[in-house]
Amino acid sequence: MKRFLIGGLAAVAILLATLFISTTITSSLKATGVAEVEQAALRAARQYEQLSRLEGIDFARLASHYASRSAIATISDELDETARRKAAFTQSEFINGQQENEGRRLDIVAILDAQGKIIARNLNAEAMKGDDLAAKYPSVKVALKGEAIKDVWNFSGRTTQVAVAPIRKGETVVGALLMGYVIGFKGMREMRDLLGAEVGLFHENKVQTSSFTNDSQQENGNKTSALSQAVFGEGSLAAAATSSGKATEIRHLTLDGEEYAAVALPIPGNSSEKGAGVVVLASLATAGGLASGVGAKIWMLGVIAILIVLVVSVLVAKRFITPIDKMELGVADIINGNIDYMFEPVGYDLDGLSNGLNVMLARLLGREEPNEEEADEEDTNKWKAEKMVIDTGDGTPAGANPAALAQESEAAYYPRLFNEYLNAMRASGARADGVAVQMFTAKLRLVEGGLRRKWNCRMVRFQLVNQGGQPVFQAVKIA
């Protein structure tokens, strides 16, 4: 019976612990869960702000890149209006096509004249011809003064993220390039997947779209409408964010009977439209669900745990009694003079002990030690990102073509370099298994970012060369 004493004592301990937990934890569990959800909402809001700012900078830079093309700068040279419109339409379609090939769908690409009027746009050269965008959107005037910017517009009744960049001919601004895409449900859903929290876009006194989905994986219009009422209701969360220009404190909102921790913040980096923003929401259902009925669940788990302990104590006692008895017999056999005795495996739990006794005996008696199972050795030759050899140098390696590298899109650049590296690895006889394109790309991006800041240049890219039979990445500085 003594063998079951520990199990009985454990059952009593679990009973006392269950009583203690059920009376002390319930009250604090909900508060802790709510605090965690609120912190998750705040983290998601900060992450959105960073992502949105970076995306805006990248979008404005992209518009500047296209606006600097000579084919666009010479559009203003066309004296004939029809020829000028045709040239503008051709360039707009070219930009739109390039972006589609790179996975970005643009809803508008337009060439504006020096007064901010549309010469032509993509899709239809006659559509919006002559529309004075400078009169409608202050950000166009900013671009015509020589600054590339990004903004949010209500464009044709839809909330649109735009980038406007000046078109220069020499030192003179002769027009502007407009690029834009609608911020819709798809974008909100992708942002939700990145942040791990629901997101709603508000603009012009209503929530335009959100990441809430219904059973058909389409936008949940009811929740979007409820969110709009909550955000623009009493003590407007949206107004607090846009008027202060920063994220609000946490507030609790109830949408269709479900409570959320919400943070509103303006979309960062807008040129003139300061009334656009997002609300980030984390559901409090998890926190409330954990606390709801926790006392009864703890008691139920406590009872189950007691039963399990009692059953396991019986099974464990039986499981160890026979193997230990066998080992005791073996020890007695050795004491009695059988020095050739070998302890046989007596069960998974005591295999290590029986093997250790055999080794001990072998060393004491000077006989050959028994063979052990060989553990799987770690494959130290498996590829890791740290095995990539990078030569930063001064950014001007021999044979480099900075102009060609600068013109190559990221969508083509990284896959090309990745394939070259794989081929070089295989050609050198090195193992190429385990090479991951995500780790490969992340490694190069990290080094590029550091060198770009160090050299204060526009871009850094790499060329792959063979040095001593080993593939080496050489950094190329692009001013």
Mean pLDDT for the chain? Answer: 85
As a whole number of angstroms, the distance between CA 441 and CA 21 comes to 49
Instruction: With CA atoms as reference, report the closest residue to 237 among 279, 209, 195.
Output: 279
Question: Rounded to whole angstroms, how far apart are CA atoms 131 and 113?
Answer: 10
Q: What is the mean pLDDT of residues 334-362?
A: 73
Same domain, residue pair 333 and 438: no
Same domain, 98 and 120: yes
Residue 116 Rama label (left phi>0; alpha psi -120 to 50; beta): left
User: What mean pLDDT comes out for the span 41-53?
Assistant: 92
Distance, CA of 173 to CA of 145 (rounded, Å):
7
Q: Is position 122 within any domain?
A: yes
* pLDDT greater at residue 232 or residue 3: 232
- DSSP, collapsed to helix, strand or coil, labels residue 113 as coil
Reported confidence tier of residue 472, pLDDT bands at 50, 70, 90: very high
**Are the CB atoms for 350 and 327 separated by under 8 Å?**
yes
Residue-wise pLDDT tens digits, 53-82 = 899 899 999 999 999 999 999 998 888 989
Task: Please tell me whether residues 124 and 173 are part of one structural domain.
Answer: yes
Whether residues 273 and 211 share a domain: the answer is yes
Inside any domain, residue 25: no
Strand 158-169 to strand 149-155: parallel, antiparallel, or no bridges (unpaired)? antiparallel
Print the domain residue range for 50: 31-54+190-291
pTM to 2 decimals?
0.56
Predicted local confidence at residue 377, as pLDDT: 44
Residue 329 lies in a domain: yes
Torsions phi, psi for 210 (to 5 deg): -150, 175
Q: pLDDT-derived band of residue 192, with 50, 70 and 90 as boundaries?
A: very high
How many other CB atoms are there within 10 angstroms of residue 359's CB atom?
A: 13
Q: Are residues 100 and 170 in the same domain?
A: yes
Q: Are residues 75 and 169 in the same domain?
A: yes
Q: What is the Cα–Cα distance from 106 to 109, expressed in whole angstroms? A: 7
Task: Kindly state the percentage of the chain with pLDDT values over 90.
Answer: 44
| Residue whose pair of structure tokens reads 């802790």 in the numeric block | 32
Q: Is the same domain home to 265 and 318?
A: no
CA distance 446 to 193: 23
Burial of 158 (0-12, 13-18, 19+ CB in 10 A): middle
Confidence of residue 366 (pLDDT cuts 50, 70, 90): very low
Alpha-carbon dihedral sign for residues 288, 290, 295, 297: positive
CA distance 80 to 154: 32
Q: Which stretches does DSSP call E strand in 248-318?
A: 251-255, 258-266, 277-283
Answer with the one of 244, 269, 291 that is the final residue of a domain: 291
Separation of alpha carbons 270 and 463, rounded Å? 36
Answer yes or no: is pLDDT of 340 > 90.
no
Q: To which residue do tokens 């900075």 refer?
A: 402
Report the CATH number at residue 147.
3.30.450.20
Question: Across residues 435-442, what is the average pLDDT?
Answer: 74
For the record, the structure tokens of 155 come out as 């464009």
> CA distances (Å), 399 to each of 116, 396, 445, in order?
44, 9, 22
Which residues are registered as beta bridge partners of 472? 389, 465
Which two three-digit tokens encode residue 437? 């394109």
Does residue 27 surpass a pLDDT of 80? no
In a domain, 342, yes or no: yes
Q: Which of 263, 291, 319 is the last residue of a domain?
A: 291
Q: What is the pLDDT of residues 195-226, one digit of tens each?
A: 999 999 998 889 999 999 998 999 999 999 99
Q: Helices then strands (H, E): number in the chain? A: 14, 13
Does residue 392 sit in the same domain as residue 474? yes
Burial 182-211 (b: 16+ CB within 10 A, else e): bbbbebbbebbeebebbbbbbbeebbbbbb
pLDDT of residue 44: 93
- Structural domain tally of the chain? 4
Tell me which DSSP letter residue 293 carries: T
Backbone angles phi, psi at 153, to 5 degrees: -120, 155
The secondary structure of residue 219, as a DSSP letter, is B
| Domain final position from 291, 310, 333 | 291
For residues 441-445, average pLDDT:
80
Are 92 and 44 members of one domain?
no
Q: What is the DSSP letter of 273?
A: -
List pLDDT tens digits, range 369-421: 776 544 344 455 656 666 788 898 898 998 889 999 999 998 899 999 999 99
Does 274 lie in the same domain as 246?
A: yes
Amino acid 279 reads V
Q: Are residues 149 and 212 in the same domain?
A: no
Q: Verify that 286 and 303 share a domain, yes or no.
A: no
Q: How far apart are CA 159 and CA 183, in angstroms?
A: 6
| In the block, residue with structure tokens 């202050």 | 138
**Confidence band, pLDDT 50/70/90 cuts, at residue 343:** confident
Calpha distance 118→135 (Å, rounded): 12
Q: What is the pLDDT of residue 331?
A: 82
Structure token digits, residue 78: 């066309």
DSSP 267: P
Helix (H) or strand (E) holding 461: strand 459-467
Q: How far apart are CA 128 and CA 88, in angstroms?
A: 13
Look at strands 258-266 and 172-182 and give their pairing.
unpaired
